Amino acid sequence: MEIGLALALGAAALLTANLVDGRFALSNGGSVFLLAQLLENGTAISYLEKACPQRRFAVCAYLDELSSYRPEMVTEPGCGSMRTSLAVEFLFGGPLDRLGGLRAEQSEAGAIVAGTLWAYPLEQFRAAIENGWRQLFRFRAGEGLCAYSETEFWSTTIHNIFGPVVYNHYLESKQIRDALFDRFELLNYIHATVLVASSLVVIGFLVVGGLRKQPRAFFAGIVVIVLVAGNAFTLGVLSPVVSDRYQSRVIWLVPLLAGCLVLERLPYLGHRKRNASTA
């Protein structure tokens, strides 16, 4: 009862917090971000090539620009090599601004998303599964902590909002001086090693009599697996890009569960637990 009430209140708060043009919505600009993902997957490009002669969407004016876009590998100081994407180019590289921004494009984006899904359901489903599978293994720490130049958006925004004093501290930070990347590389190797070991512990527990011996721990393991995998594949459906930070928000649940399972079986802790139960 309490859980259901909490979920209902949370859903109501989410919907009322995102009133879009007088309508309830899961997110402000959600249709635009979905459109960016469909553009990235290529299905929206295929739909617009057929629909633009009849529908005359505003985005049709930029169809040649979008369809001719080719991703490339770029090297960002402090971030290493990364692949550019059409979704990011559409959202932040100019086309969306020229269309009037999130609010102005919301209604049209919804119509394009609906038309694309109706025209290419299997193609989009395959793309979503592929994105979710890639997202499942993307959890590196340090994403976005690049050594931004003084002319980039992040730097100019900090200067304009917080003033020169804070901005000077920002320029002197290890991030902007490109002194963090190597440390995150080492940290990510440690994270990967811990995650592999933790996954083996969890899988071993689930396979070797976990349900029979400790049903509550077994079902906790199932919940963690569903949450971690569900997060990845949900974002594969909804997110314009595959991003390390999305999976990093939940991947820590795997070593947490593995640590609890290991601690439960340590002789000293087991002895204390038995003494407490007989006291």
User: What's the rounded Cα separation, in Å, for the pair 243 and 134?
Assistant: 9
Whether residue 103 contacts residue 32, with contact meaning beta carbons closer than 8 Å, is answered with no
Question: Domain locations in the chain?
Answer: 16-122, 179-279
Q: Name residue, tokens 């931004």.
A: 148
Angle among Cα 127, 79, 195 to the nearest 5 degrees reads 65
Confidence of residue 266 (pLDDT cuts 50, 70, 90): confident
| pLDDT over 60 at 20, yes or no | no
Summarize pLDDT for 25-68 with one digit per residue, the tens.
556 678 999 999 999 999 999 999 999 999 889 999 999 999 99
State the Rg of the chain over Cα: 24
Report pLDDT for 102: 84
| pLDDT over 90 at 116, yes or no | yes
How are the residues of the chain apportioned to helix, strand and coil, as percentages rounded to the nearest 5? 75, 5, 25
Q: Could you tell me the pTM of the whole model? A: 0.77
User: What's the rounded Cα separation, in Å, for the pair 21 and 16?
Assistant: 12
Element (H, E) at 129: helix 121-136
